[in-house]
Amino acid sequence: MEVLGVDACGRPGWTGIRLTDGTFAGSLVGLRLDVLIKRAAGAEAIAVDMPLGLIEKGWRAADLGARALLGARRNSVFLVAPRPAWREPDYLSAGDRCHELTGHRLSRQAWALAPKLLEARACWLADERIHEVHPEVSFFALAGGVPLDHAKKTWRGQNARRRLLAAAGIVLPDELGEADRVPVDDVLDAAAAAWSAHRIGLGVAGRIPEMPELDVEGRVVEIRY
């Protein structure tokens, strides 16, 4: 079984890790997510580290549930604004709309993700193989349900994540191919997404929340792991 895990990164835009039967099978990088996905046409499941399903009002249960699990790593999960906020033309109007619908303003960090969020959402709506994941939730599961002690950009944090992936059969080689120049934390996040994609393909992946919310398009709003 082939799967693909994808993480958004600054350059070139998206990083993918491919697995075949649960083991490393190569990396992909690209400016556009739809093109990267087409290059992995044989993937049975695709896991993307980006919010995909959007609700109309309030905060997503998926984000609140993920934060509750992650303890010290809870701030790695940002609260995703309702769908109408992402349709606004600029940060100030998006913040106003978010405040109207949630009681809180949208952070600048969240708004900076708008282009990639909307790009990934369009792919998700067009392809049922695509699922939303969050790497810290995946690493939480890889660690046996324990939040990791160190952040992903630290030396100890990166080594711990690489060891967890290796213990699960995903041994990342020193020469990755296309992703050789991608920041380490983005590679690790894409690999964690691929681990979750493999679990999705096998039908054993967990989900947050257990009781689903629905997007306006009728798709389930959830984080898989």
Q: Quick one: pLDDT at residue 8?
A: 96
Q: Is the pLDDT of residue 202 over 90?
A: yes
- What is the residue-averaged pLDDT of the chain? 96
pLDDT for residue 212 = 85
Q: Looking at the predicted structure, is the pLDDT value of residue 171 above 90?
A: yes
Which domains are delineated in the chain?
2-51+126-207 (3.30.420)
Q: Is the peptide bond before 51 cis (omega within 30 degrees of 0)?
A: no
Question: pLDDT (tens digit, 9 = 90+) per residue, 130-150?
Answer: 999 999 999 999 999 999 999
pLDDT exceeds 80 at position 11: no
Alpha helices in 11-154 (DSSP H): 33-38, 61-70, 83-86, 91-102, 108-111, 114-126, 135-142
Confidence (pTM): 0.94
pLDDT for position 113: 93
Q: What is the pLDDT of residues 68-109, one digit of tens each?
A: 999 889 889 999 999 999 999 999 999 999 999 999 999 998
